Structure 1
Amino acid sequence: MVTNDTTAADPTQAWADAIALQACLWLYPLYEMARMRAATATRRDAQGRFADADPGSTKRWVNTFIHARRLLGAGGSRVVTPNNDTLYSNAWLDLSRGPVVIEVPDTADRYYVLGFLDFWTNPFAHVGRRLNGTGAGTFLVTGPRWSGAVPAGMTRVAAPTDHVWIIGRIMVEGPEDVPAVNALQDGFRMAPLAAWARGERIAPDVVDTGLDPKAPRDAARFVEVVGRALRENPPPAEERALLADAARLGLDGGLAGDVPRLPEDRARRAIERALATADALLDLGDSGETVAARGGWSVPLVLGESFGHDWHRRAVVARRYIGALASAEAFYPMAHADSAGRALSGEHRYTIRFPPGGEPPVDSFWSLTMYDSRDCMLVPNEIERYRIGDRSRGLVRDADGGLTLRLQHASPGPALEPNWLPAPEGRFYLCLRAYQPRPELLDGRWRAPDIVRGG
């Protein structure tokens, strides 16, 4: 029998390491959601009131919408790989105090979506054009233990956890369209059910997030943050058995009861190693050969409304794409290389040609956006063009009706400039966003065209 020297020397530590890796992958989303709530829940509400007078406080407003009022441009985002297609709306819900009512306006067929994530990062519900149309509506969001009657005229959205993140997106045609979308944003309103019954349409609550999102992560911090998240958002019944092993390392939030626990120093060493291993595992990407075979594109994970028991996939999304919508709502192929597997760079010129009738098959809209690889942000350029797609004006069609997009640092000249997406001088990557993708895009029957390097 072949044995690992480390395992033979200290089998208890090896056992602890194995438990720790499973537990850290399972619990990874809880840590990231807690961190994102502390980072993105607002300190100041729509009336300008602070959740706490202390600037260093970890208290934040919940049960209220906060809207981004302008399209993101170069240097205008706090998140990586931002889009230039929609205006965002953000809300964190605390349903432990009771249901929350959300009112949405009539958007007159304009694309919008409110994506709901439970605290385990499952994109469990979507309200918007795809599923509900674009007429006005009122929705009641309830927690896992609520059992009351849904008021007349409301549609229930049942959340698996008490704490929920809503990320909303409303399509914007361009800068001139922003005022119209701002007016629509004002029609998205939210209040706890009790306040709504009193006629209040904005009635935020305060939550103490309990952490600094910029503080470094270590084993002790992971145990503390995950412990609180578990107590507030317990796992589903079918996963409760995992708490017994996690409890041996102190990763159960006190929910597992009387379980034998490893000495703290041994448990913390195992957790530190597991977190390092998990980070490396979750950062693994496609091989160069695989990317080249797809014309330069990496195929995104296909996401449903629950990850089920696929904890690895769930952790990958929590680390790399937290806040992602279910794939039926939006699908995001990305590219860091050309059709030969070579890194994309502004030192070269590239073309992407869609044949006649071969543009991304969607029921809403699509766009191609470019990002500087150094900071994962939109690329500054003199014409302030950050994306190109089916809403771009003045696109020049090929003689056969196809569409050739040009990706390069310098302008291709006046005749070709309408189809130009400006690149930085150095490395860049692309994101092809497809909203309300059709089945042939999701199942692979449609494939993005090759990214061809020309010089």
Structure 2
Amino acid sequence: MKRDDLEATHEAVLRTLPLFEMARMRAATAPRRHPQRGFAGPDAASTLRWLNTFTHSKRLLTPRDREVVTPNNDTLYTNAWLDLSEGPLVIEVPDMGERYWTLGFLDMWTNPFAYAGRRTTGNRAQRLFVHGPQWTGTVPEDMVEIAAPGGDVWIIGRILVDDDAADLARVAQLQQQFSILRAQDLQAAARVADTQMDGRKTETPEAHAYRAMVDAAWARNPAPQEDHDTPSLWHRALRVAEPRLQQALGEVCQALREDAQPSDIGGGWSVPMAIRTDWGRQFALRARVARNLIGALGIEEAMYPVAEVDHQGRPLDGAHRYTLCFPPGAGPQVDAFWSLTVYRKSDCLLVDNPIDRYSIGDRTQGLHWDADGGLRIAIQHAAPSEPRDRANWLPAPPEPFYLTLRLYQPRQAHLDFLYAYPPLVRHAD
């Protein structure tokens, strides 16, 4: 293959990868079983799934959960895949009291095009009217309009919860009051669809399956305007031999997962994305997020500073010990809450550890604060020797890892990139 053809194939994979990853996530997270109507398919190997219905996590995620990469350990997830091909849908949400919650609406190109929740639509009971690009009509006055750019939508919601039985039960009662109805008659909208793949497989996809899934998703979800030249690249990639496309897939996926993100805001930290509602022409970044951070929301809802290197630019590795110090009065500035989570680099998942702690944040019980109000977090594989450090220990794996600092409803200092993120310091061996 000529070099320019190989480069074009790599670029085509980079630009279309979000479509495949969203299809994979639908297959992985759309429910096999409906609580009233039973299984979508005849057996465990079936690729049939329920759409237009909510599923809710009942506990915080742990290393046993492998469907979602870079999952948070702060909120319960609310998940739904919408099919708008038969008309608009109405989503009913109960009164959420004072609790933080959000529903992020993502198109199949991973653009977080709309939100409902504490920040945007408030915490009152409400109805959301969701329609596709072909629909024409009048939105009912008592409903909030959500205009989708394509026929398929992923709703990924988060509801803040304390990790105790009482609060988990309170949130479970709220979850039961979420519903998705057909707009035409306000009846339950759940329907069965064939996802055509095993979403649990996270390795590099096979070229023939990749082609099929991208074409199927694209047919229902037009490319964003910024992708005006993506169709020609994709058609060019379709003309290459399958082994060459497979090579490009392997190389792109490996690079997206293994390349360390350099620090761009100092201290080892980077902000891998500053999206609000769409990616524009940030194709490489869009693909990287689709592969490693799929389901991420826009920065006004949540920011995700990431550290893959220390303050001297060296990749993070559990063979070393690290300290992160928030000076007095200089912690993250948020209107909701913040947390720091560690992930294994090889698969972007949470890490087993002897104290079952996967994150530290402003809601963590039992932290040791310095006399002046500062906070020192010990990030290492083995338990620290000092009691103070053990109280503030965030266990790391004995291998390469990365950190994500989640900022829910970040304040202006973060949004304007004026906040001074503390350096991630590696101890001398």
Give the alignment's TM-score, normalised by structure 1.
0.84
Which of 212, 217, 223 is 2:211 aligned to?
A: 223
2:35: which partner in 1? 46
> Superposed, which structure 2 residues align to 1:408-419 within 5 Å?
408=380, 409-419=382-392
Residues 407 and 422, structure 1, Cα contact 8 Å, conserved in 2: yes
Instruction: Name which of 81, 85, 105 aligns with 2:70.
Output: 81
1:163 equivalenced with 2:152 (yes/no)? yes
Relative to structure 2, which stretch is displaced further, 272-281 or 48-57?
272-281
Aligned 8 A contact 2:204 2:250 in 1: no
What secondary structure sits across from 1:378 in the alignment? coil
Deviates most, 438-447 or 166-175: 438-447
Segments of structure 1 that go 5 or more residues without pairing to the other structure are: 1-5, 7-12, 251-261
- What is the deviation of 1:453? 3.2
| Partner residue, 1:258 | none
Aligned mate of 2:302, from 330, 339, 344: 330
Residues 1-47 of structure 1: CA distance to partner in whole angstroms, max 9, x if unpaired? xxxxx7xxxxxx55544543343333221122122212221111132
**1:423: how far off?**
3.6
2:332 touches 2:407 (CA, 8 Å); kept in 1? yes
CA contact (8 A) 1:114 1:127 kept: yes
Partner of 1:120: 109
- Tell me which amino acid in the other structure corresponds to 1:92: W
Structure 2 match to 1:361:
333
Offset, 1:272: 3.4
How far did 1:346 drift?
4.7
SS in 2 for 1:150: coil
Q: Aligned with 1:96: secondary structure? A: coil
**Structure 2 residue aligned with 1:254:** none
Name the structure 2 match of 1:442: 415
Where 1:20 maps in the other structure, the secondary structure is: helix
Tell me the equivalent position of 1:312: 284
Give the 3 Å change call, closer, same or farther, for CA 142–446 of structure 1 in structure 2.
same
Task: Show the counterpart of 2:371.
Answer: 399
% identity of equivalent residues: 48
Q: Distance in 2 between matches of 1:216 and 1:280?
A: 8
Whether the 8 Å CA contact 1:16–1:270 is kept in 2: the answer is no
Amino acid at match of 1:227: D
Q: Do residues 183 (structure 1) and 173 (structure 2) align?
A: yes
Match of 1:298 in 2: 270
What is the aligned partner in structure 2 of residue 257 from structure 1? none
Distance 1:354 1:160, change over 3 A: same
In our comparison, the structure showing a higher alpha carbon Rg is 1
Contact persistence 1:100–1:141 (CA under 8 A): yes
Counting matched residue pairs gives 424
Structure 1 contact 108–134 (Cα < 8 Å) conserved: yes
State the distance in 1 between where 2:400 and 2:236 align.
45
Which one-letter code corresponds to 1:220 in the other structure? H
**Distance apart, 1:206 and its partner CA:** 1.0
TM-score by length of structure 2 reads: 0.89
Which SS does the other structure have where 2:39 is aligned? coil
Counterpart secondary structure, 1:431:
strand
Deviation readout 1:63-112 (Å, 9 max, x if unpaired): 00001101123424433322210000111000011111111112112111
Determine helix, strand or coil for the equivalent of 2:184: helix
What are the Cα deviations for residues 117-156 of structure 1, in whole angstroms up to 9, with x where unaligned?
1111111111111111212111011011011221231111
Q: CA deviation at 1:372?
A: 4.0
Match of 2:403 in 1: 430
Q: 2:15 aligns with which of 8, 12, 26?
A: 26
Task: Specify the alignment match of 1:272 in structure 2.
Answer: 246
1:373 shift after superposition: 4.3
Deviation, structure 1 residue 271: 3.0
CA displacement, residues 323-355 of structure 1 (integer Å, 9 cap, x when unaligned):
111121111122233333444455544322111
Task: Flag the 1:185–1:412 CA change in 2: closer, same or farther, 3 A.
Answer: farther
Matches within 5 A, 1:201-280: 202-213=188-199, 214=201, 217-236=205-224, 239=227, 242-244=230-232, 246-250=234-238, 266-268=240-242, 270-280=244-254
- Structure 2: how far apart are the matches of 1:237 and 1:431? 31
Cα separation, partners in 2 of 1:242 and 1:203, compared to 1, 3 Å:
closer
Distance 2:45 2:375 in 1: 52
Q: 2 CA distance for matches of 1:344 and 1:274?
A: 27
Deviation string, structure 1 residues 284-332 (Cα, Å, up to 9, x no partner): 6447xx5498223233221121112332322222222211111211111
**Runs of 4+ more than 6 Å apart:** none
Encode CA deviations 1:177-229: one digit per residue, 9 max, x unaligned. 21122122112211221341xxx3x4411111223333963332222222211
Alpha-carbon RMSD across the aligned residues, in angstroms, is: 2.7
Cα 1:206/1:359, change in 2 over 3 Å: same
Query: Using the alignment, how far apart are the partners of 2:396 and 2:7 within structure 1?
Result: 45
Question: What residue ranges of structure 2 are gaps of 5+ in the alignment?
Answer: none
Q: 1:397 to 1:220 in 2, by over 3 A?
A: closer
8 A contact 2:69–2:293 mirrored in 1: no
SS at match of 2:150: coil
Deviation readout 1:366-396 (Å, 9 max, x if unpaired): 0112234455433334433222111123433
- CA change 1:23–1:431 in 2 (3 A) is closer
Q: Are 2:83 and 1:94 aligned?
A: yes
